[in-house]
Each structure stands twice: as structure tokens, then as C-alpha cells.
């Protein structure tokens, strides 16, 4: 995982609707929770995505936005978002450009580790967690991020 205070690596990836998204454009509205997950439609990843969906109002009150990133393509993300009523962007990273830049590539380049970053509007990493199979650690991280919320620059 990248260290706290590090400048978050920039990227340009398509979302589930095929629109290009950059880190800079995503930070335009405030701090960001950028989470990386292994795959659409798996039990752990579905639980994680639905927890973000269910926390949407609380996240908005804390002035935080959520964006998910995984290696599946735009079409898979579109189906996943539609099936679960997700209310945040999912970015397609089939070449694992962002996955590698954020140091969440799986062992020997296989898969993606479940990692989450809190990125301030200035583009600096405020906090991070590598949860892998520990969904509870990820949930605790998100709760802490919401408590910091609007205080992040």
C-alpha cells in the first residue's frame, strides 16, 4: 500500500457507462474513497459494494465520494451496478494500470487485493487499509473515514 501523505497516482479509466474518469475529475467534488476489489459478482465484493451503496447518504454528509476499481470490463461493471443498484462509479482496469500504481496487484500478478484509500481533495493519501478477506477491517476503515469526512482538505 502507498504511504500516508504520498501523492495519489493519476489515472484515466472508463466507468460502467463507458465515460472516461480521471483522478483529478473525481477529486473535483471533494475527498474520495478509492477502493480496489477482486471481481464483480463474488460474495465478498458484492457485500462490500452493497455496503457502500447503503452508506451513500452518510458518505455524502461526510462530503466523501466512493469509486470502485477492478479488472473487469465496462460491461461487467454495468451489469454489476444495475443488479445491485450501485450509486457510485465502478472503473474498469483490465490492464491493471491503477491496480499496479496503487500497489494492490495480487501475488505474482494474479488477482487484485482488497485495498482502500482515503484521498484528500489535494490528491494526497490520507489513510489506507489492505483488508484482503477481512471485510470487517474494511468496514471499520470506512466508518473512520466518514468521521474524518469534511475535515479533509
Q: Are strands 65-70 and 32-36 parallel, antiparallel or unpaired?
A: parallel
What are the beta bridge partners of residue 125?
119
Q: Which of 32, 34, 45, 92 is catalytic?
A: 45
Is 45 in the active site? yes
Rounded Cα gap, residues 91 and 85, in angstroms: 16
Strands (DSSP E) found in 63-122: 65-70, 90-92, 115-119
Rounded Cα gap, residues 89 and 67, in angstroms: 5
Residues with catalytic annotation?
45
Amino acid at each position: 500500500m502507498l504511504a500516508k501523505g504520498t501523492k495519489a497516482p493519476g489515472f484515466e479509466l472508463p466507468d460502467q457507462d463507458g465515460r472516461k474518469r480521471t483522478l483529478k475529475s473525481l477529486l473535483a467534488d471533494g475527498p474520495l474513497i478509492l477502493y480496489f476489489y477482486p471481481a464483480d459478482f463474488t460474495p465478498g465484493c458484492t457485500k462490500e459494494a452493497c455496503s457502500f451503496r447503503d452508506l451513500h447518504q452518510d458518505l455524502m454528509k461526510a462530503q466523501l465520494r466512493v469509486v470502485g476499481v477492478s479488472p473487469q470490463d465496462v460491461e461487467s461493471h454495468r451489469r454489476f451496478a444495475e443488479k445491485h443498484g450501485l450509486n457510485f462509479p465502478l472503473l474498469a482496469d483490465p490492464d491493471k494500470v491503477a491496480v499496479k500504481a496503487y500497489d494492490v496487484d495480487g501475488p505474482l500478478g494474479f488477482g487484485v487485493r482488497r485495498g482502500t484509500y482515503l484521498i484528500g481533495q489535494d490528491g494526497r493519501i490520507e489513510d489506507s487499509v489492505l483488508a484482503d478477506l477481512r471485510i470487517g477491517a474494511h468496514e471499520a476503515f470506512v466508518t473512520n473515514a466518514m468521521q474524518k469526512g469534511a475535515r479533509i482538505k
